[in-house]
Amino acid sequence: MYLQARARRIELRTGRFNIDNGMKACLERTLQAIPGAHLDCLQYIQIRDRNDYAGGSTNRARNIWPTTRPGSRNYWIMLDIDSFDPVQRPINNRPNGLHYTLLHEIGHVVDWSTNNFRWIRRNDRVGYHLINARHHSSRFTNHSQEKFADTYADLFFYPRGRNQQRDRCIEVILNSPAFTDLLSFVRLPNGWHLSPANH
């Protein structure tokens, strides 16, 4: 099965799971919400079922596409089938909403394919500490890369202006290469804009 978004086709490996039209539409809405360039290092999404529910994970792909920019890597994302369960994971299952777990995993792809969070650590100490200070609710992981991935997801998920700390973290990543290096005009959701200096 393929997902269509941003003039791209991303393979969805469903395994033994039945992905219905509503689930497929939710994933495509989510991919459609983010800049197309952020999908360029994502090879495929795999649906799995694990004993310990962890939502999802991002993994380095074995082979790199010939079209991938030199120095970049390729990744694939695993999503637990339970992430579509409205009881276990209501945040992913709001009516016409986005799949927060997938946004979070794409945050890892964006970070790891360009070392974006390391750039923030070196070039924006205040911003780095802001993101590090944010709350991360997972009982599985709590390191700073998780906070970057959550901040990335927040940008596409929450309306601007509801939470000052969250908004300040989002401003940090909007001023990092993941966004300032985007070559084409990108319309961001939730009232966010790229700074005019860059576009």
Site residues for Zn ion per CB under 5 A: 146, 149
The DSSP letter of residue 158 is S
As measured in angstroms, the least distance from the Cβ of 75 to Zn ion is 12
Which one, 149 or 170, has the nearer CB to Zn ion?
A: 149
Element (H, E) at 148: helix 144-157
For the CB of residue 59, give the shortest distance to Zn ion in the complex, in Å.
11
Give whichever of 28 and 146 is closer to Zn ion, judged by the CB atom: 146
| Closest to 174 measured CA to CA, from 196, 160, 195, 147 | 195
- Nearer to Zn ion among residue 9 and residue 139 (C-beta): 139
- As measured in angstroms, the least distance from the Cβ of 11 to Zn ion is 21
Shortest distance, CB of residue 156 to Zn ion, whole angstroms? 15
**Do residues 156 and 186 lie in contact, with contact meaning Cβ atoms separated by under 8 Å?**
no
Mention every residue, 6+ apart, whose C-beta is less than 8 A from residue 59: 75, 76, 77, 78
| Residue 43 phi, psi dihedral angles, 5° rounding | -85, -45
- Least separation in angstroms between CB 104 and Zn ion: 6
Q: Which is nearer to Zn ion, 61 or 194 (CB)?
A: 61
CB closer to Zn ion out of 47 and 149: 149
Concatenated DSSP letters of 45-73: EEEE--SS---EEEEE-SS--TTSPTT--
